[in-house]
């Protein structure tokens, strides 16, 4: 099947590649891409011959994350302060997001994120929910949500990088490069840019060669066991709680304090690019 | 706000708490902790402070609780083996751990600015903060076990992992700032002359973010630890301490408290640390 915002290709008997395909928007994720990505994965899921899925980005970046030009109602963008929303509508939207990420996290095949260029916000989520993430050393990671007053709806931050670094990253929205992301455990490894594709191919090959030893069924057991072990140690509750808190941060009904950055107001005034620039300026001046 | 043992200043949106007993290396007693508690409760509702920096006046952050036995009834249990009703000790333990949990869950981001010694309760205070930035001369340690007192800090395993946590609390030895950064105890080790500036850079950036978002972001991260059982770990420690307190020393074990009462605090500290020093710890 063909999709509007992703390309699904079979590469050989065992491997599928899903390419995020909005290069002119640096693969910013909108509602259509959310649906397309899920549909493409569901298509792969039906094809039991495919054991490995590589997720990558077309053009100069993996993904800059949420498409910040979107307007409510949208699953990607939350309602602006003072917008009238319905709890059912907001809650359903939050649950769709949470289920979307958990679907990829639980995907019953090997998933590999191949990351270059920008990998921000939801781009990081995508890197965290894949089983293996391989990035070029100069890739840029970060989740600047807090700069606009939002929390991360993904609980995996603390699981991947530990509580200290999760706080540092999420409280400042700072950007880090691929090398640092690998050091912190946000991704699996970082390699020189020109080696990226080669390294991903190598990972794919080794999974395909290694898997038949027990057969893919035994791999599935391993995946189910892995998920259960994390759920027992609290990850299941953490997904739920992160969703709640994200919904809360989305509906700041009192709006922002004077002097606090209001992304929605800035976007009206300056357009999306201008608003992002204004959002990041004070942080850039401080070296973040 | 007038306090004897701490100081509070608000610069812009950044609140700065200074542990202010420089003459005694910011040693902590009941009064300092009560003042800190009182201050935090005031700052909690004060909208001007969006981020809180905690630091020490003088040559270090803090050498921890006052071991002289004077003025520390609220922050330290009576020495192991002292006859005391279990109910009372348990209540005291609960109060102590709730006070620490309160700082841990304080609804604004907190940054510990650490230089020099950061030992025992001082180290706990830094660990409770969201972000710890230390100068290269900083030294961390939790030497309670050398005196027969179990560590009162469940966050060790969360921050540095099980293996390192065991090493740290079994030995009670010093951890330098570079090592502390490597094992995840602190966020960042910087040269001493850059410390103030670096802490300010972080505090300023964080205080630029919307306050509601910060509170929720912290809540979300702490909930992650809660769902992994950190609350249960605190509760469990309360009872471990109770058991610890009721257990007298064996006659041939080093009894810090007895030595202290006989020969003074300094000599007791020296005797406590000597066998470890001899082994290079």
Residue A252, chain B, CB below 8 Å: the answer is yes
Nearest CB among A150, A164, A245 relative to B184 is that of: A164
Separation of alpha carbons A267 and A273, rounded Å: 8
B46 interfaces chain A, CB cutoff of 8 Å: no
In chain A, residues 196-225 whose CB comes closer than 8 Å to chain B:
none
B47 in A contact zone (CB under 8 Å): yes
> Which residues lie closer than 8 Å to A274 by C-beta, 6 or more apart?
A266, A267
| Partners of residue B181 in chain A, C-beta under 8 Å | none
Q: Which two tokens stand for residue A115?
A: 């990351």
- Chain A residues with CB-CB distance to B109 below 8 A: 167, 171
Contact B217 A260 (CB under 8 A): no
Identify from A160, A166, A168 which residue to disrupt to test chain B contact, counting B C-beta atoms within 10 A and taking the largest count. A168
Kindly report the nearest CA distance between residue A208 and chain B, in angstroms. Answer: 33
Residue in B212, B218, B223 closest to A238 by CB? B223
Question: Binning pLDDT at 50, 70 and 90, where does residue A87 land?
Answer: confident
CB contact under 8 A, B159 and A162: yes
Q: What is the DSSP string of chain B?
A: ---SSEEEEEETTEEEEEE--GGGTT-B-HHHHHHHHHHHHHHHH-TT-SEEEEEESTT-SB--B-TTSSS-TTTSPPPTT----HHHHHHHHHHHHHHHHHHHT-SS-EEEEE-SEEETHHHHHHHHSSEEEEETT-EEE-GGGGGT-----THHHHHH-HHHHHHHHHH---EEHHHHHHHTSSSEEE-GGGHHHHHHHHHHHHHHS-HHHHHHHHHHHHHHHHHTTHHHHHHHHHHHHHHHHHSPPPTTS--HHHHHHHH-HHHHHHHHHHHHHHTT-
Out of B218, B219, B228, whose CB is closest to A233? Answer: B228
B197 in A contact zone (CB under 8 Å): no
Q: Provide ipTM, 2 decimals.
A: 0.83
CB contact under 8 A, B223 and A245: yes
Q: Map residue A165 onto helix, strand or coil.
A: helix
pLDDT value of position B42: 95
pLDDT recorded at residue A137: 98
Q: Does B108 touch chain A (CB under 8 A)?
A: no
Furthest C-alpha separation in chain A: 62
Judged by a CB distance cut-off of 8 A, whether residue A270 touches chain B is no
pLDDT band at A253 (very low <50, low <70, confident <90, very high): low
The set of residues, in sequence order, having a beta carbon less than 8 Å from that of B281 and lying 6+ positions away, is B171, B172, B173
> Nearest residue of B to residue A252 by CA position?
B212
B48 near A CB under 8 A: no
Q: Quick one: pLDDT at residue A190?
A: 98
Judging contacts by C-beta atoms under 8 Å, the chain A residues touching residue B211 are 257, 260
- Contact between A162 and B159 (Cβ < 8 Å): yes
Q: What is the pLDDT of residue A153?
A: 87
Indicate the pLDDT class of residue A193, thresholds 50, 70 and 90.
very high
Query: B79-102: b or e for each residue (b if 16 or more CB lie within 10 Å)?
Result: bbeeeeeeeebeebbbebbebbbe
Mutate to test the interface with B, among A128, A172, A283 (most CBs of B within 10 A): A172
pLDDT at B191: 98
Residue with tokens 């907001």: A90
At A112 the three-state DSSP class reads: strand
Taking alpha carbons only, the member of A247, A170, A145 closest to residue B222 is A170
DSSP A69: T
The nearest CA of chain A is from the CA of B32 a distance in Å of 26
pLDDT of amino acid B247: 81
Chain B CB within 8 Å of residue A128 CB: no
**Chain A CB within 8 Å of residue B215 CB:** no
Residue A27: pLDDT over 60: yes
- Pick the more confident residue, B63 or A84: B63
pLDDT band at A212 (very low <50, low <70, confident <90, very high): low
- pLDDT category at A14 given cuts 50, 70, 90 is very high
* Contact check, Cβ <8 Å, A234/B213: no
> Are the Cβ atoms of A288 and B205 closer than 8 angstroms?
yes
The band of A251, judged by pLDDT with boundaries at 50, 70 and 90, is confident
Cβ-nearest to B210 among A166, A261, A282: A261
What is the mean pLDDT for each group of 10 consecutive residues in chain B (281 residues)? 93 96 97 96 92 98 94 89 86 93 96 98 98 98 93 93 95 96 97 98 95 92 91 90 86 92 95 94 91
Tell me the nearest-neighbour CA distance from B29 into chain A, angstroms.
28
Would you say residue A213 has pLDDT above 70? no
The answer on pLDDT for A38 being more than 80 is yes
Q: Record the tokens describing residue B212, joined without a space.
A: 């509601």
């Amino acid at each position: 099947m063909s999709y509007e915002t992703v390309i699904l290709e079979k590469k050989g008997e065992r491997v599928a590649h899903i390419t995020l395909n909005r290069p002119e928007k640096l693969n910013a994720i909108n509602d259509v891409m959310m649906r397309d990505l899920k549909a493409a994965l569901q298509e792969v899921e039906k094809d039991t011959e495919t054991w490995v899925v590589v997720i990558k980005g077309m053009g100069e970046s993996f993904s800059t994350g949420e498409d910040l030009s979107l307007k409510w109602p949208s699953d990607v963008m939350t309602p602006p302060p003072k917008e009238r929303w319905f709890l059912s509508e907001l809650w359903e939207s939050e649950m769709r997001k949470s289920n979307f990420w958990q679907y990829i996290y639980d995907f019953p095949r090997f998933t590999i994120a191949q990351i270059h260029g920008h990998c921000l916000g939801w781009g990081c989520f995508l890197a965290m929910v894949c089983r293996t993430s391989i990035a070029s050393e100069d890739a840029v990671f970060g989740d600047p949500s807090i700069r606009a007053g939002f929390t991360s709806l993904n609980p995996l931050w603390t699981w991947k990088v530990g509580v200290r670094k999760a706080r540092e990253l999420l409280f400042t929205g700072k950007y880090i490069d691929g090398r640092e992301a690998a050091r912190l455990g946000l991704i699996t490894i970082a390699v020189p840019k020109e080696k990226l594709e080669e390294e991903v191919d190598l990972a794919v090959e080794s999974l395909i060669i290694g898997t038949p030893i027990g057969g893919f069924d035994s791999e599935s057991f391993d995946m189910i066991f892995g998920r259960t072990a994390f759920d027992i140690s609290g990850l299941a509750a953490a997904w739920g709680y992160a969703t709640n808190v994200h919904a809360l941060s989305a509906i700041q009904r009192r709006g922002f304090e004077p002097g606090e950055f209001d992304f929605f107001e800035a976007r009206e005034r300056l357009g999306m690019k201008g608003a992002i620039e204004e959002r990041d300026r004070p942080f850039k001046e401080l070296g973040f | 706000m007038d306090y004897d043992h701490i100081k509070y200043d608000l610069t812009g949106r950044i609140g700065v708490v200074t542990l202010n007993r420089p003459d005694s290396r910011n040693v902590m007693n009941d009064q300092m902790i009560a003042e800190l508690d009182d201050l935090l409760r005031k700052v909690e509702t004060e909208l001007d402070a969006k981020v809180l920096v905690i630091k020490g006046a003088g040559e270090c952050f803090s050498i921890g609780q006052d071991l002289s036995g004077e003025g520390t009834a609220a922050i330290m249990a009576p020495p192991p083996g002292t006859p005391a009703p279990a109910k009372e000790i348990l209540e005291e333990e609960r109060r102590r751990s709730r006070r620490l949990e309160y700082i841990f869950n304080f609804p604004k981001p907190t940054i510990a600015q650490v230089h020099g010694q950061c030992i025992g309760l001082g180290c706990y205070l830094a660990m409770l903060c969201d972000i710890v930035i230390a100068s290269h001369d900083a030294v961390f340690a939790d030497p309670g076990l050398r005196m027969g007192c179990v560590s009162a800090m469940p966050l060790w395993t969360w921050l540095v992992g099980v293996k390192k946590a065991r090493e740290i609390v079994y030995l009670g030895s010093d951890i330098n700032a570079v090592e502390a950064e490597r094992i995840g105890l602190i966020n960042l080790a910087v040269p001493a002359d850059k410390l103030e500036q670096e802490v300010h850079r972080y505090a300023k950036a964080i205080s630029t973010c919307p306050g509601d978002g910060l509170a929720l972001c912290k809540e979300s991260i702490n909930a992650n630890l809660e769902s992994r059982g950190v609350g249960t770990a605190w509760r469990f420690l309360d009872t471990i301490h109770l058991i610890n307190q009721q257990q007298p020393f064996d006659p041939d074990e080093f009894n810090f408290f007895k030595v202290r009462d006989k020969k003074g605090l300094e000599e007791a500290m020296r005797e406590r640390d000597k066998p470890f020093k001899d082994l290079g710890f």
